[in-house]
Structure 1
Amino acid sequence: MGPYARGHGVNATSVDGVYTADPAKDPTAKLLDRASHEDLIRLAGDTHTRAGPSIVFDPKAARIVARARIPVAVVDGRDLQALRNAIIGKPFHGTLVG
Structure 2
Amino acid sequence: MLIALSVGGSILAKDLSPESFRAYAEVLKSLAKEHKLVVVTGGGVAARDYIRIARSLGANETESDYIGISITRLNAQLLITALGDDAYPEPPCDYKEAWKALSSGKIVVMGGVIPGQTTDAVTAIVAEYLQADLIVIATSVDGVYSADPKKDPNAVKYKTITAKELVNIVISTEMKAGSQSPVDPLAAKIIERSNINTIVMHGADPEKVADVIMQESIGSTSKEVHLGTRIVG
- For the superposition of Structure 1 and Structure 2, which TM-score range results when normalised by the shorter chain? 0.7 to 0.9
| CA distance, structure 2, for counterparts of residue 73 and residue 79 of structure 1 | 15
What does residue 165 of structure 2 align with? 39
Query: Structure 1 regions of 5+ residues with no counterpart?
Result: 1-5
Aligned residue for 1:70, secondary structure, equals coil
Shift of 1:83: 1.4
Partner of 2:175: 48
Structure with higher RCO (Cα < 8 A, 6+ apart)? 1
Count of paired positions? 91
Q: CA RMSD in A?
A: 1.9
Q: Which has the larger radius of gyration?
A: 2
Structure 1 residues 34 and 9: CA distance shift in structure 2, 3 A: same
The alpha carbon displacement at 1:81 in A equals 4.2
Distance 2:187 2:149 in 1: 21
Report SS of the residue matched to 1:18.
Answer: coil
The list of structure 1 runs, each at least 4 consecutive aligned residues, that deviate by more than 4 angstroms after superposition, is none
| 2:150 matches 1:24 | yes
Q: Identity, % of aligned pairs?
A: 34
C-alpha distance in 2, partners of 1:21/1:69? 24
Q: TM-score, normalised by structure 2?
A: 0.36
CA distance in 2, matches of 1:80, 1:25: 27
Counterpart selection for 1:58 from 184, 194, 203 = 184
Helix, strand or coil at the partner of 1:25:
coil
What residue in structure 2 maps to residue 96 of structure 1?
230
Distance 1:67 1:41 in 2: 11
